[in-house]
Homo-oligomer: A and B are copies of this chain.
Amino acid sequence: MGIRIGIVGYGNLGRGVENLLRSNTDMTLSAIFTRRNPESIKPHDEKVKVISLNDIESFKDQIDVLILCGGSASDLPEQTPSAARWFNVVDSFDTHAKINDHLTSVNASALASGHVAIISVGWDPGMFSLTRLYSEAIIPVGETYTFWGKGISQGHSDAIRRIEGVLDARQYTIPVEEMVEKTRNGEQIPTDSTKRHIRECYVVAREGADMGRIEKEIVTMPNYFDGYRTIVHFITQAELQKSHSAMPHGGFVIRSGYTGSESSNRQSIEYALKLDSNPEFTAGVLVAFARAAYHLNQEGKSGCLTPFDVPPAYLLPMKREDIIRKFL
């Protein structure tokens, strides 16, 4: 039956993990844990148990790795350290500024229980972070720029939805084409991401709401929109559903540096993602690192790791000699 996986949270990310486990034959989905009424969830495979999150501790001997599919704002800061008391865990914690705090609290819990936790597994943080690290290690002199989009930012969409008079909203993050071109040509550009991205918002307002006020509240919102070029469109709920219900995303990391005795040779690396489904891609990264968490724990490791601490070979369900033959 392979590695026994549990999923916590059955939103877009949780369903993405469930789907991916069907392409990963060394793993089995054992149970889905939810804060909702378990009866309300119908997993793809009827044999998979759906359990109240309150009862999770009693499954500690039936799950090898728990994949936490909640949000970074309120779910993961509490769930990951709590779950690491009983399970190997992976999460996609993505509040960059709070990663060190999260790591400290998860590490204490995982070390005490002898489990492996791997946090901040996704694409940013995650694959983009790995690209930034590798690129700077191998080209020490240069600049690295990360561009996000075009894609829907869930956090910014949520922030718009909290404004009085807004019924629904989607926010696209879009790289400024001129900045992208400059970066590809090796020119220096502002490191401030507000100068490198446009924020385009599709907003459904309540009938009679003051659109002028809503627009002003959006474009001046500190930390989210203030400082960015922000474009606001008011549309109907029907239009939003029809044209903006998919979850595409993507972006790229570019490192541009110089080598040689005169620093005259330009060397550049570009890592680009084009994703039809942001949560399904993140799910793929989580599943691969869940495999690594299991094998590292089997070898006696414990504590909180990040993608930077995992030897890449641990991500694949193959023998070392086959990995070398196929990929090296």
Contact = CB atoms under 8 A, between A and B. Distances in A.
Interface of A: 15-16, 19-20, 23-24, 44, 96, 99-100, 103, 120, 125, 127, 129-134, 136-141, 259-261, 264-277, 280-281, 283-285, 287-288, 306-313, 315-316, 320-321, 323-328
Contacts of A271: 131, 269-272
A140 B267 contact: no
Contact of A311 (B15, B44, B139, B311): B311
Contacts of A275: 265, 267-268
Contacts of A283: 259
Given A259-B280, A280-B265, A100 B273 contact: no
B140 A24 contact: yes
A125 B276 contact: no
A281 B276 CA distance: 33
A312 to B, nearest CB: 5
Contact of A308 (B15, B141, B311): B311
A306 B276 CA distance: 33
A295 to B, nearest CB: 13
A130 B260 contact: no
Contact of A259 (B120, B270, B277, B309): B277
Contacts of A139: 281, 284
A281 B306 contact: no
Given A276-B266, A277-B260, A308-B311, A328 B137 contact: no
Given A132-B327, A133-B316, A136-B327, A277 B265 contact: yes
**Number of copies of this protein chain within its complex:** 2
> Which of A137, A273, A275, A316: most chain B Cβ within 10 A?
A137
The 8 closest A-B pairs by CB, nearest first: A137-B315, A265-B276, A259-B280, A265-B277, A308-B313, A137-B288, A138-B284, A133-B327
B308 A327 contact: yes
A111 to B, nearest CB: 15
A144 to B, nearest CB: 9
B259 A313 contact: no
Contacts of A325: 99-100
B277 A315 contact: no
Given A284-B140, A308-B312, A323-B133, A269 B273 contact: yes
A27 to B, nearest CB: 11
B44 A261 contact: yes
Contacts of A19: 259-261
Nearest to A125: B328
A6 B311 CA distance: 26
A260 B273 contact: no
Nearest to A316: B137
Nearest to A119: B328
Nearest to A18: B261
A308 B328 contact: yes
Given A264-B276, A268-B275, 8 more contacts: A99-B325, A136-B327, A139-B284, A140-B284, A259-B276, A270-B274, A308-B323, A308-B328
A96 B326 CA distance: 10
